Amino acid sequence: MSEQPLKVILTRKLPDEVEQRLSDLFEVTSYNDDKPMPQPALAEAVQSCDVLACTLGDRIDEDLLSLAGPRLKLIANFGAGVDHIDVQAAEARGITVTNTPSVLAEDAADMAMALIMAVPRRLVEGVEALRDGRFTGWSPTWMLGHRVRGKKLGIIGLGRVGQAVARRARAFGLSVHYHNRNRINTHIENELEATYWDSLDQMLSRVDIVSVNCPQTPATYHLLSRRRLELLHKDAYIVNISRGDIIDEEALADMIADKRLAGAGLDVFSKEPAVNAQLMKAPNVVLLPHMASATVESRIDMGDRMLINIKMFADGHKPPDRIIPEML
């Protein structure tokens, strides 16, 4: 590596302390807007920088990468999911891609657990009823939800976030079932008392609550297809804090409207920031604006993690959070 500090282009406003630490080490140009960088600005950025520090919402596809200048060697994503980056195309051009896993897992799992509690217990409906002046006093038959304790939770993707969800779920008295590309090691399975289902279909037909915690990849696009959603029993709930396109959102909305599913808690959507109109109207659905990792602590840790990746790269080492396309 040359003695010159690396030229890092930051595609979006990050917390001040993160930007400050980056600027202390590198020559940083910030887009400085809290919106995804528009495609023409991204095209200019990839032509001139050594490192593109990007976020979810920036579209880093093959077309964009075909414009990359010879200096671009690292795309350091601020965030765990890299479904907005064509990692294969980057690798083919010798560009390394990194993300910021683990640091946000606990906060994301808190949000999944909050939704697992909020939907069956009708938390948001209760708040709205009270705010609308519909609370006329305690009633033996009003606002009845469903007990969470004793239910079967089916986790799709028992990685860092999925395991953190499982630990919380155990404490709330749920039994843990999971489907994963590969069975996880026995020691973790035993600790979580988790039952592995090689067949997602079989797991879906037996669980009461589904938590989606796998990354979005071509293999997980519409993993919860209409056919698979129909395997769930009609009192089942779905929680998704991962990516909207893992579920066939239209099918989910139809099934909730037709009362063929009991409800859903969704932090992510297929066409963010747009939200399916049918889901917006459904009372038994809790919708959040993609905020599962939105804590000050996670954002700073994500920034530090991104910085470590860039620094390791700048020092001529392999960054710790390299994405290996074959592992996606």
User: Which residues are marked as active site?
Assistant: 243, 272, 290
Name the H helices within the chain.
16-25, 39-48, 62-65, 87-92, 105-118, 123-131, 160-171, 186-192, 200-204, 226-229, 249-257, 277-281, 296-314
C-beta of 154 vs 303, nearer to ligand DGY: 303
C-beta of 105 vs 261, nearer to ligand DGY: 105
Query: Is cis: bond before 36, omega within 30 of 0?
Result: no
Q: Is 293 in the site for ligand DGY (CB under 6 A)?
A: yes
Beta strands 285-287 and 7-10: pairing type? unpaired
x/- track of binding to ligand DGY for residues 1-40 (CB under 6 A): ----------------------------------------
Distant-in-sequence, close-in-space partners of 318: CB < 8 Å, separation ≥ 6: 96, 312
CA distance 323 to 83: 11
Q: Is 57 in the site for ligand DGY (CB under 6 A)?
A: no
State which of residues 56, 89, 203, 288 lies at the interface with ligand DGY (CB under 6 A).
56
CA distance 55 to 60: 10
Q: Is 81 in the site for ligand DGY (CB under 6 A)?
A: yes
C-beta of 222 vs 290, nearer to ligand DGY: 290
Order of strands, edge to edge, in the sheet holding 96-98? 27-30, 7-10, 51-55, 74-78, 96-98
Shortest reach from residue 78's CB to ligand DGY, in Å: 8
State which of residues 79, 162, 244, 265 lies at the interface with ligand DGY (CB under 6 A).
79
CA distance 186 to 166: 15
Cβ atoms of 246 and 223 closer than 8 Å:
yes
Shortest reach from residue 158's CB to ligand DGY, in Å: 17
Segment (H or E) for 264: strand 263-266
Q: For residue 273, with 0-12 CB atoms within 10 Å meaning exposed, 13-18 middle and 19 or more buried, which class applies?
A: exposed
C-beta of 242 vs 284, nearer to ligand DGY: 242
DSSP secondary structure string, 193-235?
Answer: TEEE-S-HHHHHTT-SEEEE-SPP-GGGTTSB-HHHHTTS-TT
Shortest reach from residue 127's CB to ligand DGY, in Å: 25
CA distance 12 to 35: 7
Cβ atoms of 90 and 75 closer than 8 Å:
yes
Q: Which stretch binds ligand DGY (CB under 6 A): 75-83, 123-131, 162-170, 189-197?
A: 75-83
State which of residues 37, 80, 169, 256 lies at the interface with ligand DGY (CB under 6 A).
80
Q: Which stretch binds ligand DGY (CB under 6 A): 8-16, 25-33, 77-85, 138-146?
A: 77-85
C-alpha distances in Å from residue 249, one per residue of 112, 221, 253, 276: 18, 11, 6, 8
Shortest reach from residue 112's CB to ligand DGY, in Å: 12
Shortest reach from residue 281's CB to ligand DGY, in Å: 25
Q: Is 97 in the site for ligand DGY (CB under 6 A)?
A: no
Give the count of residues interacting with ligand DGY (CB under 6 A): 6
C-beta of 5 vs 81, nearer to ligand DGY: 81
C-beta of 270 vs 293, nearer to ligand DGY: 293
Cβ atoms of 177 and 120 closer than 8 Å:
no
Shortest reach from residue 103's CB to ligand DGY, in Å: 9
Q: Which stretch binds ligand DGY (CB under 6 A): 9-17, 58-66, 76-84, 217-225?
A: 76-84
Shortest reach from residue 267's CB to ligand DGY, in Å: 8
Q: What is the binding site for ligand DGY (CB under 6 A)?
A: 56, 79-81, 104, 293
